[in-house]
Every structure is written in C-alpha cells, then in structure tokens.
Chains A and B, each alone.
Chain A
Amino acid sequence: MNSIRHAILLGFALIAAGGAIFCIKTISLGYPVAPGVMTSVWDFEIYLEFEGQDEPARIEVYLPAGDVARTFPQEQFYNGPFGLSLSTERQTRNRKAIWTYRYPNNRKVLRYTAQTTGETAATPLPGAFRAADPEPAGFEEEPIRRQAFIVWTGDLRRRSADDRSYVDLAIAEIFKPRDEGELYADELAVLLDGPGNLSRLELATETLRAAGVPARIANGVFLTESRRRVELKHWLEYHMDGEDFRFFPEGPQSRFFTIWYGARDLVRATGVGDVAVQLALQERRNSAVELVKRGGDDRWGGLEHIFTFSDLPLTTQLVYKVLITIPVGITILVFLRQFIGVKTLGTFMPVLIGIAFRETALLNGLLLFSLLIALGLALRFYLERLQLLLVPRLAVVVIFIVMVMAGITIALTNSNQAIGLSISLFPIVILTMTIERMSIVWEETSAGEAIKQGLGSLAVAAVTYLAMTNDFVEYWMYQFPELLLVLMGLCVLMGRYTGLRLSELWRFRELSR
C-alpha cells in the first residue's frame, strides 16, 4: 500500500510547511495570533520655520536616534528647495539632518515626519552606550565649579556605601523639590547655574560619570496625547550593574520617544533668522498586523510579502477576504461527509449555500431558503404535470424564484421592515439547483430522503457559514494564507480515512449487537 504512505507523507508535509510559515510569522515576525490587536502609532513631526536672509544657510536638526530598539517604520523629509544630508555624530551617535541652501530669502519651512510606537521603560538602552567608557570631565574649564564638584562628589561618596546608593543619593539631592527662595547647599548652588531641569540633569550626568557609571541626557517627547505643540523633555539614562535605568524628573513615564542625546539644542541654524521649531504628535490606532508588515523585518527574505494579500488593490483584497474562507468551509464539509456521514444535496452545494448566507445573515437566510425551496418545489411538481422539458422547466423555476425574491423585498420595504435582507444574484442560481436536485431525490427515492438531504444541506450550510464568518477564521485565513496548505494537508489525510462513518455505526447497528 504505497499510496497510503505517500498520501500520509504528503498530508503531513503540507501541514508542516503551512505550520512552519505560520510559526515564523507569529513568533519571529510578531504577527498577533488574535484578531483585533491594536497598537497606538504616533505620527511625530518636527516643523521648522525661519526667515531666509540671502546668505548661505545651514540648519542642523537632530533626528530620532537610529540605534534605539523600537518600531520606527516610516520617516519622511519635506525639504523645499534645500539640500539635505544625513550624518551621525561619532561620539554621541546622534543622527542629524543638515539642510543647506545658498541664498534663501523670505520664510521657509522644513519638515520631518516619522511614525513610531515609542519606547517604554522596558526598552533596552542602545548597546553602544552601555559599553562606552565614561570620561569624567567634571567642569574642567571652570576652576570654582570644578572645586565645588570635587567637594560634592567626595561628600556623596563618603555618605554612600556603593555605586547604587551613590547614584540614588545624588539623584535624590539634585532633584529634591525645594520651596521658593529655599537655598541649596553651597556646592549645589554653585554647580547649578539655573533652576531648570536641564542643568540638574547635566550635573547628575557628571556626578554619575565621576563614579564610573555611564550616564547621559536623553531628549525627546512623552507620548501622552495628540498635540500640535509638544514640549521637549529631558531625562537621564544610566547603566549600572548590568541594568538600564531612566530617570524622569517629571516622574515615571509609560511611553516616550527619544530623539537625541546630550545637552546640545535640537536645532542649530546659521545664516537664517527668526527660527521657530515646533514638535507635533498625532496618535493613531493601528492594527498590530499592519505595523508588523511595515516594520520591514528582512530576516526571512520578505516572507510577509509572499504570503500576504495586503499588497493587492483594495477591491481585490476584499474579494480574497471572502474567498480565502471558502476552503475552511470545504474542509468542514469533507469532515462532515467522511467522518460523520451527513447526507447533502450535491457535493459542494452546502458550502455555496453557506456563502449565500453571507448576503442574508444566518436566521434570515435559513428562513428565506426554506421558504423559497418549499415554494420552488411546489412549482416544480406542478410543472411536472405539464410535462415540460428539463431546461425550460429550470428556467421557469429561476424566473419564479426571482419573482418571489423581488416580492419579498418589495413587501418588506413597503412595510418598513428593516430586516437587512440584501438580495444578490448569487443565491438565485444556487436555489434553483437545490430545488432541482431535491425534486429528483424526492421523486426517485422518497420525500423523507429529500427532506433529510435538504435539512442536512441546510445544517451543513449553517455550520460552514458560522465557520466562514467567524472573526478568528477570517483573520487567520486572511493574515496567514499559508494555512491553506494545512487545510490541504488535512483534506489529503481525510481522503485516506478508511474507518466507519458515524452514520454507519447506526446503519450497521444490527451487526454491532
């Protein structure tokens, strides 16, 4: 029985292939397994407006850091007439855009947009930063502050037990909230040259570095709400004992977006005047799947572009959304026939009826189908007495069904019964074929058999309809078309099932006593 082994091998191979692609997509590429997983995506914009002064202009802007592990799919530049070059600073690894123009005049606008999901407290700091050797600079140019810094760090060191307590103590003292007019300790008063957070962060950075802890200032925005004007925020990042830490002077943040590192300004412009910088954030809810696809993970050779419909035109996509669920219905039908032994009219007729239910919804569909089949059968038996030929008789039944459907629609509309009955062309043909087949069974076998097969067909249609319209099934089949291979494999395996059907247990009950 070589063909058995062959079939089983093929079946399992198909299932394995489909399953493998499915696993790669869900586990490695991060496709969500459940439908409707939404993530917030933020449109981020840097908007620059300035006055050209008819002299060579150069505008440097820091761009969102490229080495942070986060989803950061699309960025776009609106350059106007300016030339754009991108570069990365060697020491800080900051990315920056440099816009240049020889003789700009009047008001000019430059824009940079990006989309991001941002970072959370769990996002690791870039590896280059963790490995970097901190160089304790410590206010070398200013002797007075240098002196104060040495005293302050020495004092901290005395009052702490290890790096961790040193860091905690330093941060606590620097960012300790003070009342208006309250004086700092002498050293701190000297070291902090202003009341703002930035100078405190600078001091904290230097203090941490003095203890050999890599630290730096990160600049960015907090992803809290959509706004046209977003304030730039600054926070401290440091790495200690193999752990990453972020300290936000404003308190812990759940989601934020790092743009650059260091104490320098976001924008440095020469040759232009009246520079206005505006940061904007716009939140958008996006399905998680779309984001994965735009993430552009190339590890699997663009797998997501082979097994996907989302690159097709929208109308084609909609067709496939329905089409791709049909194999699920057919697989269920195979199971019901081969394992349960449900009797149906025609082979795939029930699946077609199930598809037709899409247009009518289930309960309406069942009622409408039963009604139309009953009326159609009655007409069919009447026509039998007129002894019409097969094809004209079928035609009469089709016309009759169109008439009845039109009648029902008009009656329901006139009585303002909003049942949501949408009638389409497709079910009419299926109905006619069902009526014809049923009448033949009726006549040639028995009324009971015809009704049994008719009910069997409707039951199978209902089951396949429920399966085909299930959110999970729709989502899975549409996002993971490789599951078709799994279904195919299942059908191959079911095709070699030689055991008894459930209905045959009943049929042969006399032999199982």
Chain B
Amino acid sequence: MLKSIRKLRQNGVIGINERNINYVNPNNPRKLLRLVDDKLETKRVAQAAMIPTPELFGVVRDARDMKHLPDLLMRDDGFVIKPAQGSQGKGIIVVDSPLRGGWRMASGRRITMDVIRFQINNILSGMYSLGGQTDVAMVEYRVKFDDVFGKISFKGVPDIRVIVLRGVPVFAMLRLPTAESDGKANLHRGGVGVGIDIATGFTRQAMQHDQLIELHPDTAHPLENVQAPYWDDILMMAARSYDVTGLGYIGVDIVLDRERGPLLLELNGRPGISIQIANRRGMRFVLQQAEKISLENHSAARRVEIAKELAAAAPASPLAGEAAAAKADAAPETSVSG
C-alpha cells in the first residue's frame, strides 16, 4: 500500500480532498458557483460573451408554462429537457424525433406526453437539484453530434471535458456514451473516458470504470489517435469560460455539432478527478505550473498557447517506466519558455 501511495505521489495524482482544498475552494467563490450550478445562467453569460451554446427553445417554470408544452415540443429534429440546476446528468431526457402519439428517445425507447409531464414535474419539485430546492426545466436544441466520434460512441452524445485552471486549459478528455451508461456520457454510469493531448487534440489512452481499455466496449473500435476537430476553438472556448464566469477551477463540457461546430454544454464547478486515469498521469504538476503562469494575466489566446507548451513539455506517458516517473516528479522545476 505504501508503495502505491508513493507511486501516486510521484505521478502527481490528486484526490478529492486535495481538489477541494487546493483548487475548488480557493478558486471558486461560492457566490459565483451560481453561474455554473444554474444552466440557464451559464447559457446567459456564455451567449453574452459570444460563446456558442445549444439554442434554448423554452423554459418551463410552473404549471402555467406546462400548457404551452405541446407547442414547445413540436420539434421535428428532437429536443432535450433538463433541470436547470441538475448535476451529473440527472433528470435529462433526450428526444430524437416525434413518434406517433409520442416521441422516440435517444436510447430508442418511446416516451409519451404523460411521462414527459411527470418528469418535468419532478424537475420543478427539485428532485434533481442540489439541495432539493425548486427548479425549472429547460427545453433546448438536441445536438446532432459530429460523425467524427460516431464509430466510438454508442447511442447518445459524446462530449469533451476540459479542466481549466484560471483560464489555462490543463487536462482534456473525450467522454463517450456506452450501452451501459444508457446513452449518457457520464463516467460513473459506465461511460468511457479518453484522454486528449492538449497540445495536439489527439486522443490517447481510454478508461472505463477506472480501468484502462483500448477498444470501445460496444463498437469495438480503437479509441486511440482520433483527432478532435475544431481543437483550437475548443481550447479557446474553454479558456474564455474563465473570463466570463470568474471561476478559477472548472470543467468545461463541450459538444461537437455537425452543423454548428463546438457548443458549450455546461460548466462544472467541481469537476471530477477520473480524468487523471484517462490521461494516465496526475494533474498536480500541470496545475501548479498553470497556477504560476496565471499570475501573469495573459489573454485567452496566449493562455491556450501556454497550455499547449505545457502539454508538449510534459511526457506523454510517464508510466512507461521508472525513468519517466522520475521525470514527472521533476516536472515542477521544468521551466517553460515564453
């Protein structure tokens, strides 16, 4: 056990305690968390800063709004209903297309108006919101995801999670839905996480249930070396999310739409730490360097450049051997040019 503790320290792996104390608490003032906990707020500030997001069709706030629900849902190319203050993908319905007397969900099952009403009522009563306070339901554009990840995802929308420390993108991961995760890209529900090299946008190692894998469990396609399109745009969106929210440690979730390109789906004020497994290394050293650099107040474009330099300087896979591990240990001392 001591050996594995030492190994994890060498790799700079951070746990939930360290994430909360060193990164979330000092960087994310409680007051500002409202901006990310409420997805309507997130959408508002993102739109104001010209960061593209899925189009909002309507909001259901109470029983009166419910009357207009049928009109709201008359969408041939589907829609998504989600609680504005939900977390971890809870309470989200993704509808693909109308089906006789109802709709077809992304998972392929049929859903009726009654069930949708019930689900919205649950959302309104606060069943999915943090702390259980009453909530509102958002109806928005269903992303028609880019085929680039089509072969390595199963029913549902893959998204890209970028961890951003004070505007510097530090880690990225592609999250792929699986049959097990019921079309949702959440790792703890059985989704697949694939590390992405910040410098190039190419995917690296993949993981599911905290274990490394090489092929997608459902489609059996290799997960490595897939280029994420619009990579620079994605990094820019991630970096600018810091400027518009002021939150210093966020997970930025971005989806790729076939027609509209990358769209900001949501921001997470307490992003998970499994991304370290998908990238096969700990975040601590990169986070420490990014922290140092952030004191210099660079523009978003410059921060993206710095992020790429940081990623290129770090060894691609420090787990290759003892020597690489030692290198990772020495990483904080490596000076970054520029």
Residues of chain A whose beta carbon lies under 8 Å from any beta carbon of chain B: 338, 341, 387, 389-391, 440, 444-446, 449, 496-501, 504-505, 507-513
Contacts and interface: CB of A to CB of B under 8 A. Distances in A.
A235 to B, nearest CB: 67
B319 A445 contact: no
B318 to A, nearest CB: 9
A504 B16 contact: yes
B229 interface: no
B68 interface: no
A513 B118 CA distance: 48
Interface string B271-310: 0001011001110000000000000000000000000000
Contact of B188 (A449, A504, A511): A449
Interface in B77-114: 88-91, 114
B115 interface: yes
B5 A445 contact: no
A498 B126 contact: no
Contacts of A440: 90, 127-128
Interface residues of B, number: 41
B179 interface: no
A508 B5 contact: no
Given A338-B17, A390-B125, A501-B15, 17 more contacts: A389-B121, A391-B125, A440-B90, A444-B91, A445-B189, A497-B17, A498-B15, A498-B18, A498-B22, A500-B15, A504-B13, A505-B1, A509-B4, A511-B8, A511-B13, A512-B4, A513-B7
Contacts of A509: 4, 210
B21 interface: yes
Contacts of B22: 498
A504 B122 CA distance: 34
Interface in B177-213: 188-190, 207, 210-212
Contact of A501 (B17, B121, B207, B280): B17
A509 B319 CA distance: 12
Given A391-B125, A505-B8, A512-B8, A445 B188 contact: yes
| 8 tightest A-B CB contacts, nearest first | A512-B4, A387-B118, A390-B125, A498-B18, A500-B15, A512-B7, A504-B15, A444-B90
A304 B248 CA distance: 50
Contacts of B13: 500, 504, 508, 511-512
Contact of A508 (B8, B17, B188): B8
B11 interface: yes
B4 A505 contact: yes
Contacts of A499: 15, 17-18
Contact of B212 (A338, A341, A391, A510): A510
25 contacts: A387-B114, A387-B118, A389-B121, A390-B122, A440-B90, A444-B89, A444-B91, A496-B21, A498-B15, A498-B17, A498-B22, A499-B18, A500-B13, A500-B17, A501-B15, A505-B8, A507-B210, A508-B210, A510-B210, A510-B280, A511-B11, A511-B13, A511-B280, A511-B319, A512-B7
Contacts of A501: 15-17
Contacts of B207: 510
A249 to B, nearest CB: 71
B272 to A, nearest CB: 11
A500 B21 contact: no
A339 to B, nearest CB: 9
A504 B128 CA distance: 27
A380 to B, nearest CB: 12
Given A504-B16, A511-B11, A390 B319 contact: no
Contacts of A504: 13, 15-16
Nearest to B4: A512
A391 B274 CA distance: 35
Contacts of A512: 3-5, 7-8, 11, 13
Nearest to A387: B118
Contacts of A505: 1, 4-5, 8
Interface string B205-233: 00100111000000000000000000000
Given A390-B127, A391-B125, A510-B277, A500 B8 contact: yes
A54 to B, nearest CB: 86
B111 to A, nearest CB: 12
A449 to B, nearest CB: 7
B241 to A, nearest CB: 26
Contact of B115 (A338, A387, A500, A511): A387
Contacts of B211: 510
B271 to A, nearest CB: 15
A499 to B, nearest CB: 7
A384 to B, nearest CB: 9
A244 to B, nearest CB: 59
Nearest to A497: B17
Nearest to B86: A444
Contacts of B89: 444
Contacts of A507: 210, 274, 277
Interface string B114-155: 110010011001111000000000000000000000000000
Contacts of B114: 387
Interface string B231-274: 00000000000000000000000000000000000000000001
A391 B8 CA distance: 46
A513 B115 CA distance: 47
A509 B210 CA distance: 8
Contacts of A513: 7, 319
A338 B18 CA distance: 11
A415 B10 CA distance: 63
Contacts of B4: 505, 509, 512
A393 to B, nearest CB: 9
User: In this complex, which of A341, A449, A512 has the most chain B Cβ atoms within 10 angstroms of its Cβ?
Assistant: A512
Nearest to B9: A500
Nearest to A505: B4
A449 B114 CA distance: 29
A496 B20 CA distance: 10
Contacts of B16: 341, 501, 504
Nearest to B212: A510
A157 to B, nearest CB: 78
User: In this complex, which of A387, A511, A513 has the most chain B Cβ atoms within 10 angstroms of its Cβ?
Assistant: A511
A387 B89 CA distance: 21
B15 to A, nearest CB: 4
User: In this complex, which of A390, A449, A496, A513 has the most chain B Cβ atoms within 10 angstroms of its Cβ?
Assistant: A390
Contacts of B277: 507-508, 510-511
A507 B207 CA distance: 12
A391 B188 CA distance: 28
Nearest to B117: A387
A433 B121 CA distance: 20
Contacts of B188: 445, 449
B234 to A, nearest CB: 25
B247 to A, nearest CB: 19
Nearest to B25: A3
Given A511-B13, A511-B277, A498 B1 contact: no
A341 B210 CA distance: 16
Nearest to B182: A446
